[in-house]
Amino acid sequence: MTTKHIEFNLNMGKQKPESIINTSTKCPFCDRDNLEGIIAQDGPILLIKNKYPVLQDTVQTVLIETDECSSELSLYPKEHLHKVFNFGISEWTKMEESGHYESVIFFKNHGPFSGGTIRHPHMQIIGLSNINYLDTVFPEHFEGLLIDTKNGVEFNISTKPRVGFFEFNVLLKKPNEINQLANYVQLAARYILNNFHRNCNSYNLFFYKLNNIISVKIMPRFITSPLFIGFAVPQVSDRLEDVVLDFQEKYFK
Ligand SMILES: [Zn+2]
């Protein structure tokens, strides 16, 4: 299989504001009066066109999760958390069903090692004209040691991670349990930022629809291993059981 690349517009990239490292940058997502290209809204939650569409042959949208700049997904009250996930999954599905794209990716960056540039809590939904993201996604990426399960939703830690060393997965095996999916994703984010055995300030969420199952991968982010960068060899920790027990101890007892 030949790898397909997405062309990145460097000139556009240079104009993008950065507010994770430069904390003095004026936050564009707080300036609600001047936000353009609003596609959908649910109270303080907005889907807008990305003002800096750096990726060629795509349609880039931004899901602004809240009007509280310094908040974080791991801190949301349950009601707001559920609204964000129901809104996001619904808008993602609408873009998929529009038939305009080969596939649609849905993800979130948080923290300096996540690849994000704006601190304000947000996610991204991007329609890809020429790429099917599922070409490089396999069921084994979601197999793992069970941490918890409830209402047909499974929460595990990968035994065959895509990148390594630790990847949490939430699998929605019953379609109407998005709230439970959101609860597990939030706990994983909370664990990563507060209880992980290594200091961690960054994570990504990646949403997938594989064989009609919506899955979310929650990845703590550190400097990426050279074995993966250079050779695409993923690694897995030999301490997965310890993390499972620690997680259960802290959140499910
Ligand atoms: Zn803001």
The encoded tokens of residue 36 equal 């353009």
| Cα-to-centroid distance, 31 and ligand 1 (Å) | 8
Question: What is the spatial distance between Cα 68 and Cα 136, in angstroms, rounded to a whole number?
Answer: 36
CA proximity to 134, closest of 57, 210, 55, 212: 210
Question: What is the spatial distance between Cα 179 and Cα 36, in angstroms, rounded to a whole number?
Answer: 30
Band (pLDDT 50/70/90 cuts) for residue 198 is confident
Query: What's the pLDDT score for residue 45?
Result: 98
Q: Rounded to 5 degrees, what angle do the CA atoms 67, 209, 36 make? A: 30
Please say whether the beta carbons of 195 and 147 come within 8 A: no
What percent of the chain has a predicted confidence (pLDDT) above 90? 89
Question: What is the spatial distance between Cα 216 and Cα 206, in angstroms, rounded to a whole number?
Answer: 5
| Cα-to-centroid distance, 66 and ligand 1 (Å) | 9
pTM: 0.96
Which domains does the chain possess?
10-134 (3.30.428.10), 137-251 (3.30.428.10)
* Predicted confidence (pLDDT) per residue in 115-164, tens digit: 999 999 999 999 999 999 999 999 999 999 999 999 999 999 999 999 99
| Cα-to-centroid distance, 253 and ligand 1 (Å) | 36
Please say whether the beta carbons of 130 and 57 come within 8 A: yes
Q: Which residues pair with 60 in a beta bridge?
A: 126
Band (pLDDT 50/70/90 cuts) for residue 2 is confident
Helices 78-97, 178-194: crossing angle, 10 deg rounding: 120
Neighbours of ion ligand 1 (CB under 5 A): 27, 29-30, 69, 120
Q: What is the mean pLDDT of residues 187-213?
A: 94
Does the pLDDT value for residue 1 go beyond 70?
no
Q: What is the mean pLDDT of residues 20-46?
A: 93
Query: What's the pLDDT score for residue 68?
Result: 97
Across the chain, mean pLDDT equals 95
Query: What's the pLDDT score for residue 21?
Result: 86
| Cα-to-centroid distance, 205 and ligand 1 (Å) | 20
| Cα-to-centroid distance, 235 and ligand 1 (Å) | 36
* Predicted confidence (pLDDT) per residue in 63-97, tens digit: 999 999 999 999 999 999 999 999 999 999 999 99
What percent of the chain has a predicted confidence (pLDDT) above 70? 99
